[in-house]
Structure formats: structure tokens, C-alpha cells
Structure 1
């Protein structure tokens, strides 16, 4: 059998292009298959860019002591700025860059075929490879609600044309409390739109500790987001040109609906079942090496499912790629991989929540230090926030959650600590710049001393007794 490539990547995501570039660094012969007109960066970066612009506008409004007037918001200018950010980032992963590195970029829609050998058929070509990597994009989860399809809705994938329109709807119902829903609710509110966020669970971000989500929810409500928790949507109707959402026992009138109920892998067209790749509840069955039930097909990123965090997808892509090119010995370990939600204040976590740690270990110690005691936070007038660290009784760090300004930057210290199985006394050795937000580490270390998690060494105690 003639092998055309070392690895064929079925892409359509940032992780796919990242994997293709990484494969060239390993001197592999690689092909990347993407759907024609594939939008990757616009959908990925637009919410983050809008968040930054919304924060800037909020700061300007605070200085001017005036409310945001929807009629004064120049959406065309805002979206032009967003497009500039997207274009600059896209250039780093552009087809020209990929081609220069030796990636065979194939534009088309294909599927697997199991004949005598495993092949991927696209554009009437049969691609033969040692292994294959699924790095496809995801598609929105569309809940089964009476009247939803007939009434119409938007998702985060198709919201961009609406934001570019001349007559932007002013009243929005956002359904779903996943990270994209929280981000979009705050973005819309900061640009003067009326937003109701409806969440089926008892609170937003139900996987996180209640104390953490309460801070985020309070910040959103303080800015004007109306949040309805534990409220299932049973019906949607259109009456005289207006959309009505039946949420619990309330009927809410709105101009438009934005679905943020999560994402699911977009794998239907790949004919995976025919080649022995099994799924369970719309998720691929994988082992710790990111290998599917077909030993020559691996998966990463959105193709796996879960929240769409680019850094986690790239981490998975690197593990899967190394296993596909070399001896498959690398296993995923998410315990030290951080992620963040770019609302304001930011939410970032690495490792276990308090609830997860208590289920797994039983006896744990939780330290919480609030941003209001950090000088830099006081100077910048952003004192809403907390740093929560979960420790074993030995002092080993097993989880950390930060809510506050620069949380997405600060969390990496704890990510390294967990990866190296450090104890809290190592954090105490930091000498953070003053004033800076890193002062929070020093203050957490003081709490550890007060909790007797950090004790003098045997030698120090002996020398102390000797001096007496």
C-alpha cells in the first residue's frame, strides 16, 4: 500500500491549523483538509474582541458618568476594529504560511471509506495516510423547544451579520449559561442593548463553585443583565412581529433570540461509523491517548466536545499528533491546564474546584483572598474578585480559581504549581512586584501561614531552640 502522508488532519478549527504547523516541525508529511470558505478566526476571536471594546466603552462611560445610548453606538466602527484584530491573527495561520511550511492544504468536504485500507476521500481523491487526526469545528446545540424553529433564532456562529446591520434589534433573550452566553450578555448590555439571560440550571456556570458563580452573576446584574435561573423555556411564539418566550411562568417579549446552549462536535458527514469509530451521546469514545475506537484515527479540540477553549484544544492537538506520528505513549492530563472566561471580571480556573476536591480527597483546605486587599486593584478601581486555592492537608495545590482583573494571566502560576506538584510554601517564596495584581499570591501565602500549612523546617526549628 502506498502511503501519501504521515498524517492527514481533517480540520476546520484553529487546533487543526496548529496541528498542521506542529507536524511540519516534526518533519512529517502532512495534509490539512478544510471545508471551502471555512470561517475559523472570526467566530473564535470576535467575542473576545467585543469584550475588550465593551470594557473600554464601559470605562469611558464611567468617566463621563453617563449611560450608554444605543443610538450613539457606531456598530460599523466597532466591527471594523474587530475585523482588524481577526485579520492580524489569521495571518499567522494563513494558507500562505501553511503552504510555505510544506502543508498540503486541501479545500473540500470528504469522508472516510473502509475498503481494503483506510482512506479519506475528498475531491475525488483518496488520501492514504499512516494516521488521521480529527480537528473539526463544532456546531451549536439546538434545544428542542416548541416554536423555536418557526420563530427563528441566532447562534454565536451567525451573530456577526446582525451586529453589522443598520437596524440592530435592541431587546435580546439569550438562552444558555455557558461561557459564550455570559460573554455575549455582558457585551450586548455594555453597548446599550436590553438583555435577559435565561439559564436552565439553578445558577450560571453550574460546574463551578457557588461562591465563584455568585460573584460573576452579581457583576452581570449590576450592569443591567436580567438573569433568570432554574427557568426552563417551554415555548416560543411570534405574535404581531414580536417574539414571545415562555420562560417558567413568565412570558418575555423580545426582538431576537440568541442561543448559547453549548457546542457539539460536527462529525456527521465524515462516515465515521463505517470505519469503526464509535460515539456515545454524540461524543467520540476516546482513550487517554486521544485515540478513537479505530487505532489509526485520533481526535482533538471541538471534535471531542465540551467547552471550546483554544488552549485546551491545542494541548490536545499536540498530544494526539505526537501519538499519531510516533509511538503512542503520551496521555492527556488536564489537571494543570488552565482555562478562562473573558467576562468582566474574568474567571479562570486550573485543577479542581472545592466540590470536586472534597469528592476526590475528602479532607481539603480552601484558602480565599479577595482582591479588595490588593493595592493594584484599589488603584485601578477593580476590587471585585477573589483568589481561591484548594490544598491537600500536606499543602499540595490541587486547584485554583481566580475571579478578577487579569485572572487569565495570574492563573498560570497555579497551573505550573500543579504541574510540578508544588506545595503552597513554594508560592510563599515569590516576591511579587509592588504594586501589582500578583500581590494576591503573597496574601494567599500569608493565609497559608495562618492556617499552619507552612511550617518552619526541622533545621530552622532546631536552630531556633539552640539560640534560646
Structure 2
């Protein structure tokens, strides 16, 4: 067996693992990277990238149907589902070189395409290689969780990993799970011509701000998506092309395909973590604030760490680990400044505390500033007026922001920046946005925050009257 000694061993070539490997290697560390499957991980091959590409195809089809609002004759699009999937694969292919083995070997990373297993606290075996490392990073990501619904294992079903191989458009797609992945794929397939039913055991979009989620669900239902809430799946039966899902109250929903989208589970199986003294929890590898496992030589990042499951969180974790593992500096991962987006149309975006969370934490000290999209001239010009921006403010600083509306995922960047840097609402108010842009929404929210303090204040009015009395 070949013996390899390295400064840093990274297990998993997804977003987080690649970021750690590239950063560490370019700063002079000897880095070894293990990947048993595809470079780029779930995000590139089965998650963020392909889903957003298909959502774009669906949006184009939707805009063709709605063109009449802009003085253009609407048409029913001729959807070629297989061609839409070709578009998806083309996008993946365009990004693949950035995550390729060749690129990372160019950085000086030793890339080994094998599955790794711990054999001691600092040693991993992969194929015919035994790798001993000063520090190890577990970046194995997550995979679709398939719940133990009776009968599900007896019928064909899709997950986010197998959906992309489907070449024929589903006649009627049943989605089990009303979270972000389920709702994104439901809307995309509805716009591409499929009948759609979403079955959710609790509340659809249940992790989003309830006010914003209610508006979003109303829009989705208006597009023809049947959304059944408080309907836990009890049994699945049928055969290819003729499937049934029975829910707890006895109702039965029929469709041609089933997509399971009830959440994700960390990829920790087969790593033999116990041999390295690494403990796990229900959600993933157990880590402390510095992302260190119960074996202080080993870190876990991204989905494997069992926290927020977003690609950008894995990238953020990578920076924390590089600072700690390479330089020995204290570094802790935080969550208050982490944004996330549900890419339905209109989008829902969040950073920091939701209104409910902020009210619980700050009580009467909390102020909520809000501004509707229909007060924005660019939104009016483009007929994108369904939306709202809510900002939770405590002590003059934003502590959370919730946005529903066109390009909410872009607009949340502003508030993520403000919260991450401890900025005050006055700094937002001082910002000048070009007219007409959606970016003006942020300044108008700040205006909504300050207006009562200025225009409804008798003290301010007395000062103004006094000054006016003595001005020449």
C-alpha cells in the first residue's frame, strides 16, 4: 500500500472541499483531495446549478404565455423537455472546468478519485493508498433523504439526483415535500407543461416568513399547482406511469411520476468515523463553533456538519477552516449573517432573524420597517409589483431582512452586507441608488424606518419652526 503524508486531507470535492483545497494549496500547504464520485459535488451535478438552469427554461416559457401584459401577442410555448434538459447539461458542462481535477492539480492539489475510510485519528485509507495528515476536513456533503413511506421502495421514484436523467416530461408529477426544492421543481415543471401536485406533511414553505410564504403559495396555486398541506404521506403504490400517494386522512393522489423532496441527510456512512473518535448527531458530524469534530485534528464543513445546508455556507466554512488549520488562528463559524433564497417566482430571500425570531429575542425593542414593491417605479415599469421588503431593526441596526419579490435573491445581498458588517440604518439611508432600479427598495425601507421619527415627531417640528423663525 502506498503511504502518503500530507499537511491537509480534504474528503469530498464539493463546494466546501474544493474551496479549502484550492485556498490551502495556493498558500503553500501540501494538500490531498479525495473524491469518490463527481468533482463539483451535489451542487454542480444535481443541485443548485441544474435546478436554476431548468427554472430559467420554465421562466422563459411562462413569459411567453404572459407577454400580453407588455403589448406582445402571447403564445403557448412548444416545450421540448429533452432540449430543456440539454440546456441544463450544457450549463453544467460550462462550469465543470472550474471544478475539474485538472484545474485543482494545477493548484498543486494531489487528487485521488477513491472512497476514503478512517483507520485512525489522523489516517485514512483510499483504494491502495494510506494517507496520514496533520489536519483532515470532512466535506462529504449530503444526499436526498428518502423517508420510510410504506410502498415507496416498491415503485419508481425520483430525487434531485435522478431527476436530471429524465428525458420525457412527466404528465403529472407528484412532489412529496413542500420545502424549497419541492416547490422550485413543482413550479418549473408546471410552467413546462406538467400537471402538478405537492403533498406536504406540515406547512409548505414552512421555514419561510409566514406572511411572505402565504403570498408566494397563493401565486403558485394561481399557476395551477395543487398544494396539499398538513397531509403526511401514508402509503405509495402503483407502477411506472400510474402511481398513487395516499395521505393520512385517506385521500389518494394520482400521477405519472413521484419526486421525493423531503429534505437531505449528511453523507457520513462508510467513513468509519468511530475509528477516528469522531461523533455524529442526528443531522451530521458533531462540531463545535470552530467546526472541529470530537477529534480535534478533524474538521467538518458544509452539509456534513449538519447545520444550514447551502452551498455558500460550505464556502464560508472553508474560509473558517483555512484560517484555523493553516495558520492556527482562532476562528468560529457564525450564522446570523448567512442569507438564503428559495428560487420560486417570486423569490423569497432571508438573512438574519425572521420577524418572529426577532420579536422573541428583542421584544418591544424591535422595530419592523417595510416597503412594498408596488411603490418602486422600476417594478411598476416591468410589472413586477408583487413583493415586499421587511427589515427587522434593533438598536438602530438591521438584525434580519425578509424579501419576497422579483430578484429577491439579488436584493438580499445588500442586507447580508449590512448585517455582516454591523451597519446602522443611517448608513442605508445615506446610500444613493440610481433611478429607476430595484435597489431603491432598500433605501425606501430605511426611509420607512426613519419617517415616523422625523415626520411624526412633535419635537422635530418644534425645532424646525424655531429655526425657520430666526433664519434670515
Question: What TM-score do you get using the length of structure 1 for normalisation?
Answer: 0.92
**Aligned equivalent of 1:65:** 74
Given that residues 246 and 252 in structure 1 are in contact (C-alpha distance below 8 angstroms), is that contact kept between their aligned partners in structure 2?
Answer: yes
1:461 and 1:195, CA in 2 relative to 1: closer, same or farther beyond 3 A? same
Summarize the alignment of residues 372-451 of structure 1 with structure 2, pairs less than 5 Å apart: 372-392=374-394, 394-451=395-452
C-alpha displacement of 1:239: 6.7
For 1:199 and 1:135, the matched residues in 2 are separated by: 30
C-alpha displacement of 1:466: 5.5
**Aligned equivalent of 1:110:** 116
SS in 2 for 1:344: coil
C-alpha displacement of 1:137: 2.6
For 1:8 and 1:240, the matched residues in 2 are separated by: 44
- The 4+ residue runs of structure 1 with deviation greater than 6 A are 453-456, 458-464
SS in 2 for 1:284: coil
**Aligned equivalent of 1:9:** 10
Q: How many residues align?
A: 456
1:106 and 1:3, CA in 2 relative to 1: closer, same or farther beyond 3 A? closer
CA displacement, residues 114-150 of structure 1 (integer Å, 9 cap, x when unaligned): 2xx6201111211111100011131111111111111
**Aligned equivalent of 2:70:** none
- Residues 1:124 and 2:128 are matched in the alignment: yes
1:90 and 1:403, CA in 2 relative to 1: closer, same or farther beyond 3 A? same
C-alpha displacement of 1:20: 1.1
- Residues 1:365 and 2:338 are matched in the alignment: no
For 1:42 and 1:188, the matched residues in 2 are separated by: 19
**What is the RMSD computed on CA atoms of the aligned residues?**
2.3
SS in 2 for 1:366: strand
For 2:39 and 2:263, the matched residues in 1 are separated by: 20
**Aligned equivalent of 1:204:** 204
For 2:296 and 2:454, the matched residues in 1 are separated by: 46
1:461 and 1:31, CA in 2 relative to 1: closer, same or farther beyond 3 A? farther
**Aligned equivalent of 1:334:** 335
C-alpha displacement of 1:3: 7.7
C-alpha displacement of 1:46: 0.4
Given that residues 263 and 305 in structure 1 are in contact (C-alpha distance below 8 angstroms), is that contact kept between their aligned partners in structure 2?
Answer: no
For 1:50 and 1:461, the matched residues in 2 are separated by: 59
For 1:84 and 1:455, the matched residues in 2 are separated by: 56
1:189 and 1:118, CA in 2 relative to 1: closer, same or farther beyond 3 A? same
**Aligned equivalent of 1:262:** 263
Q: Which moved more, 1:396-405 or 1:16-25?
A: 16-25
For 1:349 and 1:323, the matched residues in 2 are separated by: 28
Structure 1 residue runs without a partner (length 5+): none
SS in 1 for 2:336: helix
SS in 2 for 1:155: coil
For 2:236 and 2:373, the matched residues in 1 are separated by: 42
**Aligned equivalent of 2:144:** 140
1:84 paired residue among 86, 90, 93: 90
Structure 2 residue runs without a partner (length 5+): 68-72
CA displacement, residues 78-118 of structure 1 (integer Å, 9 cap, x when unaligned): 1222222111112112111111110100000120012xx62
For 2:241 and 2:325, the matched residues in 1 are separated by: 54
Given that residues 119 and 272 in structure 2 are in contact (C-alpha distance below 8 angstroms), is that contact kept between their aligned partners in structure 1?
Answer: yes
1:31 and 1:200, CA in 2 relative to 1: closer, same or farther beyond 3 A? same
